[in-house]
Amino acid sequence: MSFRLPKWLKTISLIGLAFLLIYFAFKKVNVFEVWGHAKEASWIYVIISFAIGYSAVISRGFRWTIVLESIGKPVSPWNATHATAFGYLMNQVLPRAGEVARATALNRSNKIPINILIGTIIIERTIDLIMMALLVGVTFILSSGDIESFLSITNSDTEEPTKASKESIKYFILFVILSFFVVLIFSKKLKSTIWIKKIKTFMIGILDGFQSVWKLERKIKFWQHTFYIWTCYFFMIYICFFAFPFTKDLSIAEGLFIMAAAAIGYLVPVPGGIGAYHYLVTMALVVLGRTYEQGLAFATVVHTTQTLMMVSTGVVGFLTLTSKKE
């Protein structure tokens, strides 16, 4: 008999983790200096970033209709957009709850079975996972030196890589190699374990999702939306470089480096990436030669802007979907 934590306890734990990460990001920081840098922001660029972020939500909604059409479930593109926005809103409250909320919202307005909607969302998320992997790969090629410094700094929690941090990375790599050989040796026994089955199911799901995209009637349009979405993710950060005097000279390659740090921050299972986003983006800017306070000011302004976008458009989406039913 397996033991599972109650959902309410998981929620409280995740919220507590978010506050802990916020504390970690802001500890030993002159808050007034951070606020001083934040006030330097040119809000026209921040507003543009807000608009770019929402255009990505719209494109994601329109892309979803392409998948739904392929299985004979056509819906209004704006209904799909509002449901997507509502999903982002729920992710601000409880990580990973957004996908279920998104499916539930469209189920209420269009009466499409939730299991079918979840299946289409998995296809989309599979492609997004591939896009994120490509992003990390391109970032590694363009900014390998910055990434090495980033890993050293975040590992040692100082602004200069230390001998201890370098040694810990070596030991980690050695551990991964040894683990690989252990898996090979005991592979027959491990194949029957639950976690191996889950990994296998996950990898098969990714392959099935990728193959499903090639069967879409409008696959070119699907990929156009996909590249547009990820381009928006880049520019909603890059445009904010021009909002601050200390980041306006950063290059596109450095923008990809910051975007990769931000994406990893959102992967941490805390509401809205709070704390993790702030710390990782801040440390990425420290690697690029900015002070910790400057980096934290930038991260806070950008994260707050996108959070306001997701909350406001999510509320509008929820109210719109509940006020009409097809």
Average pLDDT, the chain: 76
User: Can you spell out the DSSP letters for 190-211?
Assistant: HTTSHHHHHHHHHHHHHHHHHH
Interval 266-313: pLDDT, tens: 776 666 667 778 888 888 898 888 888 898 899 989 988 998 899 899
- Of 2-6, 80-84, 293-297, highest mean pLDDT: 80-84
Encode burial over 168-204: b for 16+ CB neighbours within 10 A, e otherwise.
eeeeeeeeeeeeeeeeeeeeeeeeeeeeeeeeeeeee
In the predicted structure, residue 181 carries a pLDDT above the cut 70: no
Structure tokens at 75: 């819906």
Q: Is 24 exposed, middle or buried (0-12, 13-18, 19+ CB in 10 A)?
A: middle
Compute the distance between CA of residue 47 and CA of residue 306 in angstroms, rounded to an integer. Answer: 10
CA gyration radius, the chain: 21
pLDDT value of residue 247: 92
Interval 109-148: pLDDT, tens: 888 888 888 888 888 888 888 888 888 788 777 766 666 6
Compute the distance between CA of residue 83 and CA of residue 108 in angstroms, rounded to an integer. Answer: 10
Q: Which has the closest alpha carbon to 263: 133, 143, 144? A: 133
Q: Which has the closest alpha carbon to 258: 286, 240, 281, 287? A: 281
Q: Is 289 exposed, middle or buried (0-12, 13-18, 19+ CB in 10 A)?
A: exposed
Compute the distance between CA of residue 106 and CA of residue 84 in angstroms, rounded to an integer. Answer: 9
Phi, psi of 39 (to 5 degrees): -70, -15
Contact in structure between 61 and 109 (CB atoms under 8 Å): no
Structure tokens at 204: 């098969």
Q: For the chain, which residues make up each domain, given as ranges?
A: 31-323
pLDDT value of residue 2: 45
pLDDT value of residue 100: 84
- 133 dihedral zone (left: phi>0; alpha: psi -120 to 50; beta): alpha
What number of CA atoms fall less than 13 Å from residue 238's CA on the CB side?
A: 15
Phi, psi of 19 (to 5 degrees): -65, -35
Band the pLDDT of 168: cuts 50, 70, 90.
very low
User: Can you spell out the DSSP letters for 217-283?
Assistant: TTHHHHHHHHHHHHHHHHHHHHHHHTTSTTTTT--HHHHHHHHHHHHHHHHSSSGGGTTHHHHHHHH
- Of 39-53, 132-146, 161-175, highest mean pLDDT: 39-53
Compute the distance between CA of residue 204 and CA of residue 197 in angstroms, rounded to an integer. Answer: 10
- Residue 189 three-state SS: helix
**Amino acid type, 78:** W
Q: Please give the DSSP secondary-structure letter assigned to residue 94.
A: S
Compute the distance between CA of residue 307 and CA of residue 18 in angstroms, rounded to an integer. Answer: 14
Q: Quick count: other Cβ atoms within 10 Å of Cβ 72?
A: 7
Interval 54-71: pLDDT, tens: 999 999 999 999 988 888
